[in-house]
Amino acid sequence: MKVRIRALIFILLFILLTGCKKEDSQGETKDTNETSETNETLPISEETDDGEVPIITDESDIISDETDSETEESTVVSGSSGEVYGNARDYLPLLENVKYHYEGQGNEFASFDITVDYLTSDTIQYRTNNGGSQIVEVFKKNADNITRNLFRGEVYYRENLTSKEDKEKDIIIKDPVQVGNSWTLADGSKREITGVARPIETSLGTYDTVEITTTTKKAKVQEYYAKDIGLVKRVYLENDLTVTSSLSKIEVDIPLVQTVRFFYPDKNMENIIYHDKEIEFKTNDMTKIILEREYKDIGKDNASPVLPVSAKILSLYLNKDGAVYIDFSKELISQMNAGAGSEGLILQSIVNTFGNYYGVEKVYLTVENKPYESGHIVLEKGEKLKVDMEKVID
């Protein structure tokens, strides 16, 4: 029983082992300390830039022809230790709006889906959902290897983290791609290329793969990567327990769908009501733009508007202090046209909406990078508003 529990924990957080350790070391986890130093400067994130991240993928050929210009073709047909099986960069395809489904055996969380949140010319941000948890990882193509630059557990919101890095990075695969090439991970685990040109059968067909084995103190993980596909199969081995996850489906032009709860004052401006909406996000969509648009589309007869038509969300991100930082254009105040009581309900609706989306309790709301100040409500610099469901009714 203990073995199965350890395997369950490992699979929930494991996509190449050391993510949780890195998350703690980087200091990106929530910190409830509120200091003026934190609040004075707005950290750079994807939601502070109105430009789109460049897309490099040709959607008309999204599966078969996505290769890197520096990739060299390999003629290896066997798995002997002296042969080189292509370049490490071959095994991380940079594709947008793709969904990979893996069928699992041996554990209820062995099946999972991977979607693409964000993409640059050499970096990709994956979201993995196994039905019980969601994790976000950032992988990068380097000159002679592929690294996992960032791991975040329990991430249910979208935010561009492609420029962020953990203190320590994992090397997933490195040149030369040949049997015997090995390296040590930050936690002391050993990772080694233990096979090349290994045929792996899946429901999609048979792939020639590179076998990479990671050995920890308690278990062994064998992963199989195919050129221009990425991960094809994972096998977790611990004593008599075997858990496998195999690629079973690749879907193209598939958005990420999230259910987002939007809060609004009711028509009488006495209580707060909410409306759940299914929102589609494509790769590199900016979260602030999508949420702003959907918030203005009320979709409920007894709800009052929250955002004026001309108001814009200028920036939106989760800060290191564990609070959501959201900055609006001046139209939020100038076009609000509400009394003191109504304005309080509007602000509380905003706080509830974005605090709930990011899963936090505090929101720092500013207008054009200055503390919120209207004729009725004045917030101090650094003052955060709390999520409060007291006046929320069904």
- Res. 301 pLDDT band, cuts 50 70 90: confident
- Sequence-distant (≥ 6) Cβ neighbours of residue 323 within 8 angstroms: 34, 360, 362, 363, 364, 384
User: Chain-wide mean pLDDT for the chain?
Assistant: 84
pLDDT tens string 304-345:
999 999 999 999 999 999 999 999 999 999 999 888 789 999
Q: Is residue 45 part of a domain?
A: no
CATH number of residue 174's parent domain: 2.40.360
The overall longest dimension of the chain from CA atoms, in Å, is: 77
- Res. 375 pLDDT band, cuts 50 70 90: confident
Q: Identify the CA nearest to 359 among candidates 204, 154, 178, 168.
A: 154
Give the mean model confidence (pLDDT) for residues 67-88: 53
- Can you read off the two tokens belonging to residue 133? 């948890």
Domain span including residue 245: 2-33+52-60+67-252
Residue ending a domain, choose from 197, 230, 252:
252
DSSP conformational letter for 55: P
Per DSSP, what are the bridge partners of residue 198? 209
pLDDT of 270 strictly over 60:
yes
pLDDT of 275 strictly over 90:
yes
pLDDT of 220 strictly over 50:
yes
User: From residue 241, how far is each of 103, 191, 216, 236 by CA, in Å?
Assistant: 17, 20, 15, 8
pLDDT of residue 119: 98
Exposed e or buried b per residue across 274-293, where buried means at least 16 C-beta atoms within 10 angstroms of its C-beta: bbeeebebebbbbbbebbbe
User: From residue 24, how far is each of 13, 19, 150, 166 by CA, in Å?
Assistant: 13, 9, 11, 9
Same domain, 74 and 191: yes
- Res. 84 pLDDT band, cuts 50 70 90: confident
The answer to whether 7 and 241 are in contact (CB under 8 A) is: yes
Same domain, 284 and 184: no
pLDDT of 242 strictly over 90:
yes
Same domain, 355 and 371: yes
Which is more confidently placed, 265 or 67?
Answer: 265
Residue ending a domain, choose from 252, 278, 302:
252
Residue ending a domain, choose from 234, 252, 270:
252
Q: Is residue 46 part of a domain?
A: no
DSSP 122-175: SEEEEEEE-SS-EEEEEEEE-SSEEEEEEEEES--S----TT---SS-EEEEES
Same domain, 141 and 280: no
Q: Is residue 294 part of a domain?
A: yes
Give the mean model confidence (pLDDT) for residues 254-276: 96
Residue 25, classed as helix, strand or coil, is helix
pTM: 0.81
Same domain, 192 and 238: yes
